[in-house]
Amino acid sequence: MKHLIDPTDLSKQELDEIISLAQDIIANRERYSKVLEGRKLATLFYEPSTRTRLSFTAAMMELGGNVLGFSDAANSSVSKGETVEDTVRVVGCFADIIAMRHNLEGAPLVASAVSPVPIVNAGDGSHSHPTQTLTDLLTITREIGHIDGITIGFCGDLRFGRTVHSLIKALSRYKNVKVILIAPDELRLPDYIKQDVCDRQGIDYREVSTIEEVISQLDVLYMTRVQKERFLDEDEFDRVKDSFVLDASKMRLAKRSMAVLHPLPRVNEILPEVDIDPRAAYFRQVENGKFVRMALIYSLLRWKDDRGHAMPEHPECFEDPSMRCPNGKCISNHESVPAMFRRTDSGTVRCAYCDAKIKENS
């Protein structure tokens, strides 16, 4: 059975299949309107969401299926202390597939180990957001025409932005992608993405500190929110914040074919004056999210009993009860789960649930 916990759970071929299917669904909506009649999706959202939850709901409805679930775990038996494992065992009795968003990193992975039905990670803490990644890949394909060979700038909070982490992992599957990281010092991309993904997969990346110095080189500008509370020093936030705000004057420096993406919600990092620019693709991106989730749900249900679509093996993972993850937002510090770790190619040991560093080359 195939789950989607991390973008790399999908092979490149599966990724291509889902993007192609989404494009076929866009072109032939009627043909897919009853394909999941009688099937049910459960949306278990332990954290707030507008786009992800509603697009999963709309996707299942447009395939002819039904949706159940909760959008506030406080109204479920989670409030009585029910674990993630028990919750999915129970919901798996009612639904054919589960989409889970959780504030704790690694919660969907824990769910996938016991679930009788496919689990889709709809965002876990600051860790990963693979269905946003599928949305982004479909949007780049539709806006630019291809993913191989693009130059993409990621701007804003690259440290905590789970959409950025997931998309960079997925882009490592494509050829000759150049990544430019535009962020204040406090919010630079975590080392584990730079080392384990960019360096290991040979992604050409560099770090800069303003949009203006690179915007003319970009095919895609991927904007994210810069939140004041991420800064220890408020003066530092005030000093840098304008460098990470996209406005009409910066857009004048960009290629006519560039596409501006944003996972949304935005606060003030893209001024409303940019919305009327045809290169502003972020609301088209939202609609792509529904189409690609239709393709994903349909594919995971079709693949459920197909041995050719199993989860990838992770021989680098091991259990060691003597070690503990230092990340307070990791599921392993909140629920009773096996103490699982993985050793990267460079020898660093990381938590298998949240990727936090446990120890350097040992």
The binder of ligand CP chosen from 11, 20, 50, 257 (CB under 6 A): 50
52 lies in the site for ligand CP, by CB under 6 A: yes
d(CA 23, CA 21): 5
Q: Is 288 one of the binding residues for ligand CP (CB under 6 A)?
A: no
Identify residue 304 by its one-letter amino acid code.
K
Compute CA distances 166 → 16, 68, 97, 213, 360, whole Å: 16, 27, 22, 25, 23
| Beta pairing class for 40-45 and 340-343 | unpaired
Nearest distance in Å: CB 122, ligand CP: 7
CB of 31 vs ligand CP, minimal distance in Å: 28
Helical residues (DSSP H) of 92-129, grouped into ranges: 107-114
Candidates 50-58, 84-92, 193-201, 344-352: pick the segment binding ligand CP (CB under 6 A): 50-58
Query: Of residues 19, 91, 264, 351, which one binds ligand CP by CB under 6 A?
Result: 264
Decide: 288 and 141 in contact? Cβ < 8 Å: no
Query: Interface with ligand CP by CB under 6 A: which range of 36-44, 79-87, 230-238, 261-269?
Result: 261-269
Q: Is residue 184 involved in binding ligand CP (CB under 6 A)?
A: no
Helix (H) or strand (E) holding 26: helix 12-27
String marking each residue 1-40 x if it binds ligand CP according to CB under 6 A: ----------------------------------------
Q: What one-character-per-residue DSSP string does 275-343 give?
A: TTSTTB-HHHHHHHHHHHHHHHHHHHHHHTT-GGGPPPP-TTEEE-TT-----TTBGGGTS----EEEE
Q: Which is nearer to ligand CP, 138 or 240 (CB)?
A: 138
Contact 126, 160 (CB under 8 A): yes
H or E segment and range at residue 16? helix 12-27
CB-based contact 354:103 (threshold 8 Å): no
Among 106, 108, 161, 263, binds ligand CP (CB under 6 A): 263
Nearer to ligand CP, 116 or 265 (CB): 265
Q: Does residue number 51 form part of the binding site for ligand CP (CB under 6 A)?
A: yes
Identify which of residues 173 and 266 has a Cβ nearer to ligand CP in the complex: 266
> Would you state the structure tokens that stand for residue 184, as one six-digit string?
């204040």
Shortest Å distance, C-beta 163 to ligand CP: 7
132 binds ligand CP (CB under 6 A): yes
How many residues of this chain bind ligand CP (CB under 6 A)? 9
| 43 is an interface residue for ligand CP by CB under 6 A | no
Scanning 209-217, 233-241, 260-268, 315-323 for contacts with ligand CP by CB under 6 A, the matching segment is 260-268
Q: Which strand (E) or helix (H) includes residue 66? A: strand 66-70
The reply on whether position 123 binds ligand CP by CB under 6 A is yes
Q: Of how many residues is the chain composed?
A: 362
Looking at residue 346, the DSSP 8-state letter turns out to be T
Q: How far is the CB of 129 from ligand CP (least distance, A)?
A: 6
Q: Is 299 in the site for ligand CP (CB under 6 A)?
A: no
Q: Which is nearer to ligand CP, 83 or 126 (CB)?
A: 126
Residues 300-339 that bind ligand CP (CB under 6 A): none
- The residue range among 27-35, 43-51, 68-76, 180-188 that interacts with ligand CP, by the rule CB under 6 A, is 43-51
The answer to whether the Cα torsion of 55, 57, 60, 61 is positive or negative is negative
Shortest spacing between CB 168 and ligand CP, in angstroms: 16
The interface region with ligand CP, picked from 76-84, 187-195, 236-244, 257-265 by CB under 6 A, is 257-265
DSSP secondary structure string for all residues of 150-217? -EEEEES-TTT-HHHHHHHHHHTTSSS-EEEEE--GGGPPPHHHIIIIIIHHT-EEEEES-STTTGGG
How many H-runs (helices) and E-runs (strands) does the chain carry?
A: 11, 13
By CB under 6 A, name the binding residues for ligand CP: 49-52, 123, 132, 263-265
